[in-house]
Chain A
Amino acid sequence: MELILIFISASIVNNFVLAYFLGICPFIGVSNKTENAVNMGLATTFVMTLTAAATWPIYHHVLVRFNVPFLQYVTFIIIIASLVQLVEMYVRKASPALYRALGIFLPLITTNCAILGLALFMVLRDYNYLESIVFGFATGIGFTLAIVMMSGIREELEFADVPEHFRGAPITFIVAGMLALAFMGFAGLIRG
């Protein structure tokens, strides 16, 4: 039950993109085509789940044990960067087709602050191991949901008559604002 709550909370109610503003760069940058958005979302979900699975034991069994939790930012960012590198190398070897689909998005994920945010929130909220993995996966699903919806809207937006200075980035932000408003409707679903 607790796990289902975490899943719904992280993927819909407290969506990382629309409620915490994490991962805005890829959300704006890669959301112009639905196909790219789906691939980016899946790659991110994958890395997020792995990140949660890898950072939790290192934080709790290494950093806390040796009493150096102030090293967490340096440690987390190194874990994420090397994880992305490993995933990229593995995918390139194991599945060239998947690599072609995800290829250029993988390096971008390192600089996605949603991943680092995930690791930080995980520590802040004191999740146990299983909860952390569910949290990582759910956050990825939430990110995918937001970016795919956004890309759908933006594809339609290309045919809309937007005032000159609002074209491009500004209208994208306004649309994201409306999406955030819509997602607020879920707020009553769950608390916290």
Chain B
Amino acid sequence: MQQDKSLLYEFKKGLWQDIPPFRLLLGLCPALAVSNSAINGLSMGLATLFVLFTSNIVVSLIRRTISAKVRIPAYVVVIATLVTVTDIFLAAVFPAISKALGPYIPLIVANCIILGRAEAFAQKNALLPTAMDTLGIGIGFTMSLTLMGTIREVLGFGSVFGMQLLGSWFEPWIVMILPAGAFLVLGGLVALVSWISSRKAARARAAETAAS
């Protein structure tokens, strides 16, 4: 029973408490670079989720055989191999997405979320908790990227997932699809998440004092 509970916790913490990149300030490069439309954000999120999940499972399985001194290069090679697989798969099955994301797919190799999770979690934990942890983090990351992509697409093009949402009266904010817009949206969202969680904490404290 205890085991089930902690597995659920490992999964859930990636969805809000440690949600990247808003709470865990990692993986910022892809979050900023490919969030110019909802579909790009979603596909980048899913590609990262796949690499994160599979590579951390491998890391968790080999954690006893790899000596501590060479662990970082070993992890990097595992990650780079899986990224190559993802890249070739995307190019073969979804050429349009592969083209839109361009060099940012290979750059998943240098995404610090993946190495960060391997270092902080997978190398110390068994297969099942690792799977739950990376699924949570990966889904959280996918949600964040899709959210950023949606905001930027609505304001920058007036559409969502390529469908026109706002009428012709809407003057698109060009800045939102430019690099500057990415920074502004990310800054706003990080502040928003921090505001929501501080309000939650304040409410919990108020409830506690009322109860006592």
State yes or no: do A and B come from one complex.
yes
Q: Does A3 make an interface contact (CB < 8 A)?
A: no
Residues of A within 8 A of B198 (CB): 165
Cβ of B103 and Cβ of A21 under 8 Å apart?
no
* B interface size (C-beta, 8 A): 42
Q: Which of B83, B103, B180, B186 contacts A184 (CB 8 A)?
A: B180
Give the CA-CA distance A25 to B32 in the complex, in Å: 12
* A interface size (C-beta, 8 A): 41
Give the CA-CA distance A20 to B107 in the complex, in Å: 12
Q: Does A90 make an interface contact (CB < 8 A)?
A: no
Give the CA-CA distance A89 to B175 in the complex, in Å: 45
Complex: chain A residue closest to B195, CB-CB? A165
Q: Which of B26, B106, B191 contacts A73 (CB 8 A)?
A: B106
Complex: chain A residue closest to B102, CB-CB? A124
Nearest CB on A from B48, distance (A): 13
Scan residues 102-133 of chain B and give those whose CB is less than 8 A from a CB of chain A: 103, 106-107, 109-112, 115
Scan residues 18-68 of chain B and give those whose CB is less than 8 A from a CB of chain A: 25-26, 28-30, 32-33
Secondary structure call for the B interface: helix
Residues of B within 8 A of A166 (CB): 187, 191
Secondary structure call for the A interface: helix
Give the CA-CA distance A180 to B184 in the complex, in Å: 10
Residues of B within 8 A of A111 (CB): 110, 112, 115
A residues near B (Cβ < 8 Å) are 18-25, 28, 70-74, 77-78, 81, 111-113, 115-117, 120-121, 124, 163, 165-166, 169-174, 176-178, 180-181, 184
Extra contacts, 12 of them, besides A24-B28, A81-B76 (Cβ < 8 A), are A21-B32, A21-B179, A22-B33, A25-B28, A73-B83, A74-B81, A113-B29, A113-B107, A115-B110, A166-B187, A172-B187, A176-B183
A-B contact pairs, 7 of them (CB 8 A): A20-B179, A21-B179, A78-B77, A116-B106, A165-B195, A176-B187, A184-B179
